[in-house]
Structure 1
Amino acid sequence: MASKTSARLAALTVAAVCSAASTVVLTSPAHADAVRVHDIQGTTRVSPYAGEQVTDVAGIVTGVRGYGSSRGFWMQDPQPDADPATSEGVFVFTSSTPKVAVGDAVTVSGTVSEYVPGGTSSGNQSLTEITRPTVTVVSTGNAVPAATAVSARSVPRAYAPAGDPAAGGSVNALPLRPATYALDYYESLEGMNVQVADARVVGASDPYTELWVTVKPWENPSHRGGTVYGSYDAQNTGRLQIQSLGKPADFPDANVGDTLAGTTTGPLDYNQYGGYTLVASEIGTLESGGLERETTREQTRGELAVATYNVENLDPSDDTFDAHAAAIVHNLSSPDIVSLEEIQDDNGATDDGTVAAGRTVGKLIDAIVAAGGPRYDWRSIDPADGEDGGQPGGNIRQAFLFNPERVSFTDRSGGDATTATGVTKVRGKAALTLSPGRVDPANPAWEDSRKPLAGEFVFRGRTVFVIANHFNSKGGDQGLTAQYQPPVRGSETQRHLQAKAVNTFVKEILGAQKNADVIALGDINDFEFSDTARILEDGGALWSAVKSLPRSERYSYVYQGNSQVLDQILVSPSVRHGGHLSYDSVHVNAEFHDQISDHDPQVLRFRP
């Protein structure tokens, strides 16, 4: 996946396009005929006053944000109307640190604006704001309007209405139906003071003082306390992002399955990193769910154990080698073959033409030995500089680790960044022309993306073909809370082409030897129910073994509170039907606040 850190830093450098605010303190009441907050918010996602000046809009300050690039405050009208579709809260963008305090009664004059977090190209919904404000403090120390409880009872089961085809699939102009759709319900509370009670954590705390909770703990639950994303048609409506309102030191280090006991209260915002977000001025007390890192069983003497593990931009300067080694040795029980994704070159993100990764892989192998594991051998192919995407200068690639005491590698020279390996027959059985070799590297499907690495292994006299993959990321796809419903998943186009290329190569192997043992694995960056997976599986050439698990255990990644499959191990018919197949998604990272990678490794055991 693309680096979230770099995206955040880039976002924070974007200058706001509004002038500084002015504040006047008076004691006279607001004008009785002024436009009210619910008038501004209206009954759709876009304000009927967008682009217009409003005068003396009254409200009580419920939260103040004096940091970051979106400084301002939330205010709420203590005299609501009777329409559940109209929010009583609104954000006032001041650009500089606001000169108001929670509990101030204010009137605000300014321009109503619709701000799209992430820009219009993101497809996100817009946030209704009052910009270029003149703020008048009428009185101080007032009671803040009572927080609206967001609960399992209040959030509808349906996620979002279908967008208007005449508007390109946008829901912006549709009347809000907060009793019918979850996204409409959250929109009807935009800017208001809300709270959740005893909310279970479904997305661990991250470095940006964010976490995810659910108000519906029974909604598609994982066996470890999360919420499983199992279908495009079954969105998890109870998820809500929690941020801290200026108190990062007090933000809990939460894991999936923990609970924020008591109430978590604050204004409901909308941002580009997860949509509707409760910006908490009060956070519930963290109660541990006791989540522990999993350990898979050791393979038996006759089983071949093959794993995939995305080590998240690993380079020699990282301090995670010992932790990764411990995970491989102790949690994965030292698999015979490990496909590593996101191995960076020997100087990481320094962009100086370096492409070799011997230091990176060698440091990991040494750490594995120090942790009590085997001394793995390894194979890989250096990419052409800057051609495989990922962090600029990092030249990420896949690499095979293998235990030479248990498995041997069949070397056939000539593989490089641009030369394709092929399939031939040797003594009536399939063989690779290059091993290690790259699969169809000139195919446009791999433009600015990682090319698959193929290798030929032998275990107890049986040849096993392994294809290590790292497909195109989901970067640029519209979010689940986008204004376009259903959201557009533009990144799928390239993954579909990549899946076709791998499927074609596997069929060439099976065409040469019908009962060949083939494993295609790695960070597929797509779900087991996706079209990408179906194309990989086309014609029965492969089958995603994660589907052998109960639905509550099918995940390797947690994104926006959804436990989901991105990493997969797919197998040919002889592996699937040969008996004794065992699959494990080993949860050591994705659910934890102190993760060393954002991916969980996967392990397949079978008898070739």
Structure 2
Amino acid sequence: MVRNSTLAAGVVVVLGALSVAPVATAQAAVRIHDIQGTGRVSDLVGQEVADVPGVVTGVRAFGSARGFWVQDPEPDADARTSEGLFVFTGGETPRVAVGDAVSVAGKVTEYYPLAEGESPEDTPNQSVTELTGATWQVTGKGEIRPEELGPETVPAAYSPEGELDKLDLDPAAFALDFYESREGMSLSVRDARVVGPTDGYNALWVTSKPEQNATGRGGTAYTGYAENNSGRLKVESLIPFAERPFPKADVGDRLGGATAGPLDYSRFGGYVLEAAALGEHQPGGLERETTRPQAEDELSVATYNVENLGGDNEQAKFDQLAKAVAGNLAAPDVLALEEVQDNTGATDDGVVAADETLRRFTDAIAAAGGPRYEWRQIDPENNADGGQPGGNIRVAFLFNPARVSFVDRPGGDAVTPVRPVADGDRAALSASPGRIDPANPAWESSRKPLVGEFTFQGKQVFVVANHFNSKGGDQPLHGRFQPPRRTSEEQRTAQAEAVRGFVDELRGIDAEARVVVAGDLNDFGFSPTLRTLTADGALVDAADSLPPNERYSYVYDGNSQALDHILTSPAAGTADYDVVHVNAEFADQASDHDPQVVRLRG
């Protein structure tokens, strides 16, 4: 196993090795707290240490980054210095067991978990202090009692500002400092509530602060950039899955009793409790929601990110998504879809058409008891709109022709911009459907908004379907640079400006134009992206009608957050809005997003 480690002289490659030979003679004996020090980076990086005493608290016996954690049973009096340490053995399983007292020697390194193309100097991730090239001997038996995390244990404030590697720790003031001061130590959470469902990598999120921005469904709401929810903690298991399968937990479930083990750090979510003891899964009974049907005089418009729905997907995915549309969403009149892939899915073969994908989806909705939807969309240029290579994701409209009419106007294609035009005393579209300003650099490698003109009970309605640029490339909440840079926000703000400009132009022709802007905007209600769209009251975010802890459609790293939005112009009428929670809080999900619907009257 090769791991990149930062030493005093720069970047080197350290090969983890396994040995149970007597400990080699090195420098004077040190304790674990001497190695960890009072900051994030050890003062002993690059040095050989020997005769380091500790008790084994966890063993990672599978995967490519195997090793074990040791903890000193005789801590010092400095709250900043961790008493735990990871001993890296690479691809070899260490022959030690929890409870072994050991004496360890090795080289002190700082391991930075890196994404592709990153170096330890530029990664936003924090490092893990560890021993490599280690040798050890078992000297007897010992016991370490895990430190229990209660509601008041972890500070509410999340992090100091600055480059954390250069700061001393203040574990009484900041959550990230608290966790770092326990790096490698055995921690415990008792009867912990799940706030992030089990993912495909056998991990989930719990909270040690059950009252912190709690949602009514058991989650933890992300309500502002200063509300990072310090009680969140990722949980993985050190127990072989053949011995005990990892629980398939939903938000609101609990891990009854104690979940305990050493604290690690990963670029995927930050600090991780590596459970040597896993609490008993206790289902909370969370149910998928169903919204009410629209009234006869209500126009219902919904948005749904269907997560890479391609023509080559298994029928089960179509059926599960269709059941939500026909049942949980109560068959909306107009549905803006995001992440519709082409007919061959993520096969990079030059195919861009999505008629087979949409045919299979509309057939599945009809089979689930829903209406026979029609669709409108525009094929993108090949591999020009981001997403999975070859997938050619795009936004699309479904509509129920028994309830609404689509006004077709020719001329819309992948590269021709749609424009508002005057049609007597009303506004109209130069093409319907059409794409907003597709040559604008704001849409580079990103989905272009689709605009369509609809008629409902004799009234004209313009709907804009959107899927803004993702948050990829932003620095993580748990990273060493605080506050984290949100570099992707610049492109989304520019995208919001383009959509807002189009809406302003439309309303400039007809101030009473009924406009709905819907979709996965990939940003929060309190973000500059949304403020650009809602400035001066030009559009209203329907989510603002809900309490802050109910405004979410996505769960990421244990934070329930709002990425999907429906906004309406003042003339659109009274809006009745609902986020329909069917996916994001559940381990079994057809998409990672929840759909939402607005019903308009007036």
Compute the TM-score of the two structures, normalised by the length of structure 1: 0.94
Distance 1:246 1:530 in 2: 41
Distance 1:33 1:13 in 2: 28
Distance 1:497 1:246 in 2: 47
- Does the 8 Å contact 1:15/1:69 carry over to 2? no
Q: Aligned residue for 1:117?
A: 113
Distance 1:24 1:356 in 2: 60
Q: Return the offset for 1:213.
A: 0.3
Q: Aligned residue for 1:5?
A: none
Matches within 5 A, 1:149-168: 149-163=148-162
Q: Give the partner amino acid of 1:178.
A: P
Q: Aligned residue for 1:22?
A: 18
SS in 2 for 1:383: coil
Q: Return the offset for 1:53.
A: 2.0
- Does the 8 Å contact 1:306/1:337 carry over to 2? yes
Unmatched tracts of structure 2, length 5 or more: 6-12
SS in 2 for 1:94: strand
The answer as to 2:329 corresponding to 1:371 is no
The answer as to 2:581 corresponding to 1:587 is yes
Q: Aligned residue for 1:286?
A: 281
Distance 2:542 2:436 in 1: 22
Distance 2:123 2:431 in 1: 42
Q: Aligned residue for 1:473?
A: 470
Q: Aligned pairs, how many?
A: 585
Distance 1:193 1:587 in 2: 35
Q: Return the offset for 1:348.
A: 0.4
- Choose the corresponding residue for 1:199, options 177, 192, 217: 192
Matches within 5 A, 1:168-247: 170-247=163-240
Q: Return the offset for 1:24.
A: 2.7
Distance 2:20 2:40 in 1: 31
Distance 1:22 1:264 in 2: 29
Q: Give the partner amino acid of 1:293.
A: R
Distance 2:27 2:309 in 1: 62
Distance 1:495 1:79 in 2: 52
Q: Aligned residue for 1:606?
A: 600
- Does the 8 Å contact 1:57/1:109 carry over to 2? yes
Q: Return the offset for 1:355.
A: 0.1
Q: Give the partner amino acid of 1:18.
A: V
Moved over 3 A (4+): 12-17, 28-33, 119-122
Alignment root-mean-square deviation, CA: 1.8
Query: What's the CA shift string for 1:325-372, capped at 9, x where partnerless?
Result: 100011000000000100000000111100000010000000011011
The answer as to 2:552 corresponding to 1:559 is no
Q: Give the partner amino acid of 1:349.
A: A
Q: Aligned residue for 1:81?
A: 76
Between 1:100-109 and 1:347-356, the stretch displaced more is 100-109
- Does the 8 Å contact 2:2/2:90 carry over to 1? no
Distance 1:359 1:240 in 2: 42
Q: Aligned residue for 1:276?
A: 271
- Does the 8 Å contact 2:310/2:340 carry over to 1? yes
Distance 2:554 2:267 in 1: 20
The answer as to 2:453 corresponding to 1:456 is yes
Q: Return the offset for 1:179.
A: 1.0
Q: Return the offset for 1:548.
A: 0.8
Q: Aligned residue for 1:254?
A: 249
Q: Aligned residue for 1:542?
A: 539
Q: Return the offset for 1:32.
A: 11
Matches within 5 A, 1:40-439: 40-97=35-92, 98-118=94-114, 119=118, 120=120, 121-133=122-134, 135-140=135-140, 142-163=141-162, 170-248=163-241, 249-319=244-314, 320-439=317-436
Query: What's the CA shift string for 1:489-514, capped at 9, x where partnerless?
Result: 11111101101100000000000100
Compute the TM-score of the two structures, normalised by the length of structure 2: 0.95
* Cα 1:547/1:247, change in 2 over 3 Å: farther
Q: Give the partner amino acid of 1:386.
A: N
SS in 2 for 1:184: helix
Distance 1:452 1:475 in 2: 19
Q: Return the offset for 1:107.
A: 2.1
Q: Aligned residue for 1:6?
A: none
Percent identity between the aligned chains? 57
Query: What's the CA shift string for 1:17-36, capped at 9, x where partnerless?
Result: 4324232355x999995111
Distance 1:91 1:488 in 2: 30
- Does the 8 Å contact 1:25/1:138 carry over to 2? no
Q: Return the offset for 1:77.
A: 1.0
Q: Give the partner amino acid of 1:218.
A: E
Unmatched tracts of structure 1, length 5 or more: 1-11, 164-169
Q: Aligned residue for 1:4?
A: none
Query: What's the CA shift string for 1:432-479, capped at 9, x where partnerless?
Result: 001000000000000000000010000011110001000000111111
* Cα 1:501/1:156, change in 2 over 3 Å: same
SS in 2 for 1:195: strand
- Does the 8 Å contact 1:337/1:400 carry over to 2? yes
Between 1:244-253 and 1:59-68, the stretch displaced more is 244-253
Distance 1:29 1:144 in 2: 25
Distance 1:31 1:325 in 2: 65
The answer as to 2:520 corresponding to 1:523 is yes
Q: Give the partner amino acid of 2:399.
A: F
Q: Give the partner amino acid of 1:103.
A: G
- Does the 8 Å contact 1:23/1:137 carry over to 2? no
Q: Return the offset for 1:60.
A: 1.4
* Cα 1:53/1:395, change in 2 over 3 Å: same
Distance 1:492 1:14 in 2: 32
* Cα 1:122/1:469, change in 2 over 3 Å: farther
Q: Give the partner amino acid of 1:601.
A: P
Q: Give the partner amino acid of 1:329.
A: A
Q: Return the offset for 1:188.
A: 0.6
SS in 1 for 2:104: strand
- Does the 8 Å contact 1:23/1:99 carry over to 2? no
Distance 2:326 2:281 in 1: 32
* Cα 1:223/1:606, change in 2 over 3 Å: same
Q: Give the partner amino acid of 2:136.
A: T
SS in 1 for 2:15: coil
- Does the 8 Å contact 2:195/2:559 carry over to 1? yes
- Does the 8 Å contact 2:33/2:82 carry over to 1? yes
Distance 2:445 2:139 in 1: 58
Distance 1:34 1:197 in 2: 36
